[in-house]
Amino acid sequence: MLVIPISSTLYQHLHQLAQNKRMVFMAGLQGTGKSLLIQQLALIAQEAGRTVHLLQWLTARQPFETAEILARYPEIDGVTHPVIRKTTGMWVRGAVARWHEQYPDPRHLLIGELPVIGNRLLELTQPEADGLERLLTSEQVQFVLPVPSWEVRAAIEDARARTLADPQHEREKRDASPAVLQALWQEVNGLARQMGLTKASPTTPYNPYIYGGVFQALLQHRHLQTLLVDEVLHPKQSVYELAQIASELQATPAEVAAIMAQLEQGDVAEVETAVSHWHYPLTQNPQLPDPGPELPLPLPEMLPHAEAKTVLTAEQRAALQAVLGLPLQAGVGEVLTAVDHALHTLTTTAATTAANVHKFDVYDGYFNVQRRDGDPGLLFLGGLLQAYRNALQNLEGDSTLTVIEKPMLRIAFEAAVGMFV
């Protein structure tokens, strides 16, 4: 059942993919809504007359998880063994190439799910000197990164806990637990720290723009479209309910035996080490993002945490709601006008300073906030609006922020201001 509103921007993006692409790969962590978007994309594609095939991490690795292989390379605390991750990756490029040859009719569409982190089908994202590379870098193939807002991510985690407790589909029993989801997020945040994208604490909670920046770096060799998901969707059935799927890519027993034999001819310990170092091309030789323009930001001491109860007048509340009510595609001028009006109603002036720092560092500190008693909420709101205004001004013209796009900035802003109104 289609749950994405037809009038939404998200639907328009998926509809274009369903009509125009040969392959679509949804990349990202587990717990970011990939499975639901794959289901919805498949439905939209089928309505458009496409024949849909799937490549999913869960089913792709299953042939490599026989009782015999798992006895040697068991799952530990819900995490797939490095050898199984590697052998599945050794198989996948050939499998995609064979699918392309087997189904030349353009009506056929391959939809893939790529977790990437931890060497999970990473091989499709990295340049290789083989016949598939030209296809993967062509306009026929689109890599898509869904980036959920804080609210959407929390809703996904809550839903994951419910489906694990009461699974409605066989595949839901093998979904990653909330604890594994948190561990995967911490790995992403750790990568961001190693790459110089952020100085956020190692234990910082999920952050959409740190997440988006890391995956944009991981997928830099592919045509990537970032989908900002800021609306909680409510599926009526399991996200794994997919009808009329033509095929799912899986290795044959003969392929599994050949790949396992090839891997075990070498030093398995070296394979495990290589998998643990899967991120070295980025973290050992990081290509740091352009720090962007100097942003006049409120001084940290002028932005205390907001008090638990902030009293707003009707005029102030309406002005803030007007800012939040603007569509994501609203022009900068329109947004600035609304922000200026809200600032005027607050009559709060915050001291500012120039800060030529990475985007993540800037917005970690000012937008992902928690309130506490005893601090002036109106002062906080005034500083937050001013920071948002300054960032928007610097996004105009050629002075662009290279990792956070305006919609991501908007999600961060709404998450903070939304606590007040």
The DSSP H or E segment spanning 143 is: strand 141-148
Per-residue pLDDT, 397: 52
Contact (CB, 8 A) for 411 and 230: yes
Per-residue pLDDT, 128: 95
pLDDT by position in tens, the chain (length 421): 888 989 988 999 999 999 999 999 999 998 888 989 999 999 999 999 999 999 999 999 999 999 999 999 999 887 899 999 999 999 999 999 999 999 999 999 999 999 999 999 999 999 999 999 999 999 999 999 999 888 888 888 888 877 777 777 776 666 777 888 888 899 998 998 888 777 667 888 888 878 888 898 899 999 999 888 888 888 777 767 788 999 999 999 999 999 999 999 999 999 999 999 999 888 877 665 555 555 566 665 555 555 567 788 999 999 999 998 887 677 888 989 999 999 999 875 556 655 544 444 445 555 555 555 555 677 778 877 887 887 777 655 544 444 445 666 776 677 677 777 7
Per-residue pLDDT, 318: 94
d(CA 46, CA 230): 25
d(CA 303, CA 306): 8
Per-residue pLDDT, 303: 59
CA angle 206, 38, 94 (to 5 degrees): 100
Q: Kindly list the domain boundaries of the chain, sorted by start residue.
A: 9-283, 295-417
Strand arrangement of the beta sheet that strand 23-27 belongs to: 224-229, 141-148, 23-27, 108-114, 51-55, 247-248
**Closest-CA residue to 24 (of 143, 146, 147):** 143
Per-residue pLDDT, 25: 98
Q: CB pairs under 8 A, 24+ apart, for 129-132?
A: 130/93, 130/97, 131/97, 132/93, 132/96, 132/97, 132/100
Contact (CB, 8 A) for 381 and 346: yes
Per-residue pLDDT, 353: 58
Burial class from Cβ neighbours inside 10 Å (0-12, 13-18, 19+) for residue 269 reads exposed
Per-residue pLDDT, 18: 97
The DSSP H or E segment spanning 224 is: strand 224-229
Largest CA distance in the chain: 73
Per-residue pLDDT, 304: 57
Per-residue pLDDT, 350: 54
Per-residue pLDDT, 206: 85
